[in-house]
Structure 1
């Protein structure tokens, strides 16, 4: 009997304990959609579960008490909420909403595989940068906005007209393809100037792939590609505006307006206007430190509603720019003369892009683009007039084949017309415009091996009307851990490029050197391997940490490298009799803390060089000009959420790079120094959608040396003596045997300056 009482007392005690527990049940959504397979846990306890496909979770048998409920998922902002389980509240029913993190793995990307997939699922490593990132250091054009992305460097190619291109992992600008909404818009002639004038108010995000992408995108996607994704009219603000000015008298305006055309068509109009008209020479060399510019860009995108949500968009852009740089006393009346030196460029450009999904059961889409570029230029007294027209059309068939195979099959046709007044388009002294027809077919198969492993195989065949058959394969492998916190990607592929040096190398146009071709140039080929590893950490306090590391190696055949050093009066072009290599490692770190502090930092160490036959069969290793061995970037942000104030500190750091000196007597350093551009900004947000921001750019007031332009006082070489072979002779007034040359450039000449601006977004 005694044992019975003891057993009864024990059971009653257990019932009492169970009676002092409750349950927490909730639904988690993101943008109205359920958050699948997220983690719901009570901080500091063993209680936890996951959300189902409807975003629902339930934590049972929770002892009475007060807890911190933490909802977390890879790529989404953590939610922390205090919950109490008591006799009066033994059951908690919650509805919670989270949002995607910047650069999150959950974001949809299209650039790596030419189809919409989440960043986590993409077998190709794709980096995403949203307007939030670019607003931390506001600039008037896309070219400058990329300066705080690890492994990417906007390179100025001329101290006078400030033209430039984008380097990816040390590879020069012509190896980078620039696209708008997946269409090859900025290429060839327009690479130099086309990176300006894209209204930032219309940019949804920028996707970047490092490494060859010729299997999908063809020529020029050798070193990587940058895809500017514009906003959909349906998700854009009704009105958006961003107006900024600097203490150097630069003025920039971005405007976006959404409107309707009937019941089934929406449109988004954008305008960018940039103006700088104050000749400034703070380094005292007699030349403008930065070019004077007057540029307007108009953009309009239409989106049409169709049955079964089929795609139909079409957009257009027009850019007109007048820029000049040179001796500060120059005026337009001296254009083309040999009295006062300047480089004056008038540019007019139009673009059309679109996509139309065919009205059939299969998912077949026709994408198209066309652009025309007209350039009227004078480099001193040397004219350069050029026209380029490109037409592009492409069909893609997106097809699922069973549960494991995801196919993409496509065919493309590209036509390029190029004409100028240089030897590039002259045959036997007669004008012969370049006309290239480039048809191609491609296929890729994304194979799901199992839950954790995925393989991507791709192959492309192109027929170039000048160079013949070109075949480009690719292979990508991705492994994802079961908890999705670890991702490893291995990429291997081939790229090719057909070069036109007059459209890509500004130094060929300055008139300071004679251009020489020693042979008929062949297409460049590259083989690239990348190993990428991503690790996500979710800390117990709701903070988020991400590590992203990559090792890369690119090997070139037939590389075209301009030779500035053999003869200081010439630029000699030929295919490299040897090979070239770009290799290195990069690391990105991303902290997002619950107290409002965000830190993004990255560093890349690389070695870019070429090995050339010295004539005896021995390969001699040479460092590539204007390529740093180390670069670092950072962005530190802190938000005072109660008062709507945030502070951003951004910067970059570059290691020494080899510079194009003018012969053995040139006294200027062969290598640049370590240098850094740093900026700070304060932003005040108001509930009405208004933002006011301001700060300081180039805090350290760094500028290159005063003698970056050789013999700036004699731009037409009137006081230079040449021998019978055309070589410069050292004289008392030219002891270092130099000629006028603006190509010794590694950093912008613009020093410290203040800036201020206003943004406004109006939604319905």
Structure 2
């Protein structure tokens, strides 16, 4: 009898311990009070858990009696732990508010589209490289912005000279001249200035970098066929910033940078200054420089004025001076003789003026202007090409924002004049272009799940390219954002673009503009394009702690009347429109995993770029079909940062019909933070991948080398390290 009583008591206690307690809760955003669809609730130490429905409601069943810890979580929000005693006295659903705190929902405000929306609310697909990421990439390459751009999917920095290290940005397989580089919305790096632009922009004073892939013609003109890169610089704050960076490299490089910014009542100031230099570096012992000898000084002060709460303006000045010399080390060491060399001396002066005035809480009027002076002298043995470029940009724009519609309407004027100095027998390659443009863009939100952005631009180009009546270009563009659920969204968009004829292309840069005939704009057609992309973005929580997000994009661009450099029987080169077109299509996939202070980034790019000339189809040269990005980041805020990177590039077709070898590039970056300073050490290309390991980079003699196309690194392994100081 005692045995049966004991068994009955055991069953009763078990039933009481696992009685049918139910918890109903509504999980909401702590700031907007909107329900969070797909948020999770779980009982700690058990397998009991569930996700919220469309109303943000979740129900947990079979909760044991007694004190239980309930975890409420959602991607991009801080977890909340509540200790509850069951059975509950409360019968109504528990309202739980989660506070934003994760990276996935970090408020990143985008300025490139001029709608002052966060990155989650913009129909145009934009990739933002934020201040934290800029700090990571700045440790790896403090002297220029190549590193922070080249490690993104779909973007490739193409080196155009084996000895002077000049480079351009290629997006989705298209040539660098189809990418527009802006600074705070100002087009400062175009035409003759584009050849060394990304090599002369240090990243220390950047606050954010915004990248749009695909045609972005509405606001910034037709030149952004492949996309645009907008460099957003830091602004003065009440707290102020005073920072310094010093970096040395195993390749003989030295980088010194400083930034100061602070607001004083109605005035504010920022000032950036840097000195970047390198000794000639030859890791392959070829007797030729893989990194040239150079010395560059940069100064960028800005004065801000805030006369009222509705009005602000700034006036900035940018000056860069660089002397760059590459080639035979015997010549660089002062030797006398018939040695090969390539010298680039450049100076850049530009002004930026920007005025913004709020006409009302919903309306903004802006006026901006920049004037740029760029001089460059390129000298090789027995040849010199030099010229002066004077360009300007002016714009007036009106913004009006309402609850469900944003408007941007404006007009702008570009002038671009190039004058060649000491022209030779081919004649001066001078030009004087003027473009007058008007644009309108509307961002419309008819429902919470749908946002539509449409734009139209009309440009009048003088002188008009061939076969273009009055030089008129009409460029429509449209993008749409679909919020399928709280975790899944999609963007679809497309537009048209154009590029006015210019001699400043990658092919001409490779020849140092030698024996290239002047371009008659009235006999050459403008290059025109149409393209689009579509992507899907999904984020979720794996288990209780691992965040996961994936973005997958499809893209296509059709480029008509491509301008190509042709070799004539009289040994001169001439620009002509190809008989055919270029198209590029592919996919980009980005995945991100996060667990506490560990993050894993995986990326893949498939690029199928082809030239359709004279009925023959060939792959686009120097374009890897497959590319893989992997980054593992271990980071504790204000403590330490460790990054492990590996990048794969598949084989590339060369212009001569050959094939470049596939390769991996690996790196390790370490940074230790202290209260006012941090120390960093970076091992770039740690396994010393170099094109010179795959074969000779030139043919002929060292005194008269004919360089092969550059498709892989030539500088090999470089170790750098330094210190960053933050004194405010």
Short-chain TM bin:
0.7 to 0.9
Any idea what the Cα deviations from partners look like across 1:140-170, whole Å, max 9, x if unmatched? 2112331211110110011121111000000
Alpha-carbon separation, structure 2, partners of 1:622 and 1:107:
41
Whether the aligned pair in 2 keeps the contact of 1:189 and 1:504 (CA below 8 Å) is no
Matches within 5 A, 1:49-68: 65-68=67-70
2:445 to 443, 448, 465: 448
Whether the aligned pair in 2 keeps the contact of 1:157 and 1:743 (CA below 8 Å) is no
1:675 to 653, 663, 668: 663
1:580 to 579, 582, 598: 582
Whether the aligned pair in 2 keeps the contact of 1:22 and 1:90 (CA below 8 Å) is no
Tell me, what secondary structure is at the counterpart of 1:120?
helix
Whether the aligned pair in 1 keeps the contact of 2:340 and 2:702 (CA below 8 Å) is no
Any idea what the Cα deviations from partners look like across 1:415-471, whole Å, max 9, x if unmatched? 1111114879x9x95x58422111111112222232212222211111101121111
User: In the alignment, which residue of structure 2 is the partner of 1:732?
Assistant: none
Shift of 1:106: 3.8
User: In the alignment, which residue of structure 2 is the partner of 1:238?
Assistant: 241
Whether the aligned pair in 1 keeps the contact of 2:134 and 2:206 (CA below 8 Å) is no
2:683 to 696, 705, 709: 696
Distance 1:590 1:306, change over 3 A: farther
Whether the aligned pair in 1 keeps the contact of 2:321 and 2:348 (CA below 8 Å) is yes
Whether the aligned pair in 2 keeps the contact of 1:502 and 1:509 (CA below 8 Å) is no
Whether the aligned pair in 2 keeps the contact of 1:64 and 1:90 (CA below 8 Å) is no
Any idea what the Cα deviations from partners look like across 1:612-635, whole Å, max 9, x if unmatched? 22xxxxx11122222221122121
Shift of 1:571: 4.4
Alpha-carbon separation, structure 2, partners of 1:41 and 1:294:
56
Distance 1:445 1:291, change over 3 A: same
Alpha-carbon separation, structure 1, partners of 2:28 and 2:450:
30
Tell me, what secondary structure is at the counterpart of 1:248?
coil
User: In the alignment, which residue of structure 2 is the partner of 1:544?
Assistant: 547
Whether the aligned pair in 2 keeps the contact of 1:68 and 1:80 (CA below 8 Å) is no
Alpha-carbon separation, structure 1, partners of 2:327 and 2:628:
32
Shift of 1:572: 4.4
User: In the alignment, which residue of structure 1 is the partner of 2:204?
Assistant: 201
1:229 to 228, 232, 250: 232
User: In the alignment, which residue of structure 2 is the partner of 1:665?
Assistant: none
Of 575-584 and 325-334, more deviation after overlay is shown by: 325-334
User: In the alignment, which residue of structure 1 is the partner of 2:146?
Assistant: 143
Number of matched residues? 686
1:714 aligns with 2:703: yes
Whether the aligned pair in 2 keeps the contact of 1:547 and 1:587 (CA below 8 Å) is yes
Shift of 1:190: 1.4
1:649 aligns with 2:640: no
Of 34-43 and 147-156, more deviation after overlay is shown by: 34-43
Shift of 1:358: 3.5
Distance 1:36 1:26, change over 3 A: closer
Distance 1:273 1:459, change over 3 A: same
Alpha-carbon separation, structure 1, partners of 2:163 and 2:571:
18
Any idea what the Cα deviations from partners look like across 1:40-99, whole Å, max 9, x if unmatched? 7543456888999xxxx9x9xx975232433435xx3x4235432359x99999998654
Structure 2 unaligned spans of 5+: 1-17, 465-470
User: In the alignment, which residue of structure 2 is the partner of 1:162?
Assistant: 165
Distance 1:504 1:624, change over 3 A: closer
Whether the aligned pair in 2 keeps the contact of 1:380 and 1:510 (CA below 8 Å) is no
1:591 to 590, 593, 597: 593
Alpha-carbon separation, structure 2, partners of 1:207 and 1:698:
26
Whether the aligned pair in 2 keeps the contact of 1:379 and 1:509 (CA below 8 Å) is no
User: In the alignment, which residue of structure 1 is the partner of 2:457?
Assistant: 460
User: In the alignment, which residue of structure 2 is the partner of 1:756?
Assistant: 721
- TM-score, normalised to structure 2, is 0.85
Matches within 5 A, 1:247-396: 247-260=250-263, 263-277=265-279, 279-331=280-332, 339-358=338-357, 360-361=359-360, 362-396=363-397
Distance 1:27 1:434, change over 3 A: same
Of 180-189 and 325-334, more deviation after overlay is shown by: 325-334
User: In the alignment, which residue of structure 2 is the partner of 1:606?
Assistant: 607
Any idea what the Cα deviations from partners look like across 1:649-676, whole Å, max 9, x if unmatched? 1232111112234xxxxxxx81100012
User: In the alignment, which residue of structure 1 is the partner of 2:127?
Assistant: 127
Shift of 1:100: 5.3
1:218 aligns with 2:221: yes
Alpha-carbon separation, structure 2, partners of 1:309 and 1:50:
43
User: In the alignment, which residue of structure 1 is the partner of 2:413?
Assistant: 413
Distance 1:422 1:125, change over 3 A: farther
